[in-house]
Amino acid sequence: MPITIPKSILLTPKVPTIAVVGLMLAQFVIFNIVNNPEPTCTLKVERPHHSTSIKERQGIDAIKLNITSECTAPQEYTVITAQIQMLENNREITVSNFISRKAAAISKSSGKAVFKNLFTKCEFGDESSYRGSAKGYVRIKGGKEIRVEGNSGKYEAENCVIGAQ
């Protein structure tokens, strides 16, 4: 004799609805924590170079330093202190300081901010070797601050000398 199960028992959930919703919410939170790690930021310091654009626009010879901060999350802005160092008699000399410069993110959803206005006048014709460095912090949307620092690597020769300050 076959056993018949009333339809009312088959249609009733075995687990209360609130428990199912709670489990789904917990799974969503855990999934987002695992797949969205803490944001990270890097500071890319390009090598200092003789700027042809400054020469063309302003008529002056200058050594220029470009810096970009990039983050894995949208940022509000980046604040840096940057330097250009020069080799003189095998000693490193800081010839230019750019203190507490602030660059806003490229767009509201961007993880990138760019510094392009860092330059120092120089005397064209004499060769010297330079490198750039910077440190500071990035403010991520939501208020978190992340420390950053970087340099342009080894010294590179340029055909323009900055007078030591």
pLDDT at position 114 is 94
The pLDDT mean for the chain works out to: 86
Identify the three-state secondary structure at position 144: coil
pLDDT at position 77 is 93
**pLDDT tens digits, 54-94:** 999 999 999 999 999 999 999 999 999 999 999 988 899 99
Of residues 85 and 100, the one with the higher pLDDT is: 85
For residue 115, pLDDT over 50 is answered with yes
Region 140-146 average pLDDT: 92
Q: Which long-range contacts (CB under 8 A, 24 or more apart) does 29-35 make?
A: none
Question: Beta-strand (E) ranges in the chain?
Answer: 41-45, 49-50, 62-71, 75-88, 91-104, 112-121, 123-140, 145-151, 156-161
pLDDT-derived band at 165, boundaries 50, 70, 90: very low
Q: Which run of H or of E encompasses 18?
A: helix 17-35
The pTM of this model reads 0.74
**pLDDT tens digits, 128-141:** 999 999 999 999 99
Number of neighbours of residue 152 by Cβ within 10 angstroms:
22
Q: What is the CATH number of domain 41-161?
A: 2.60.40
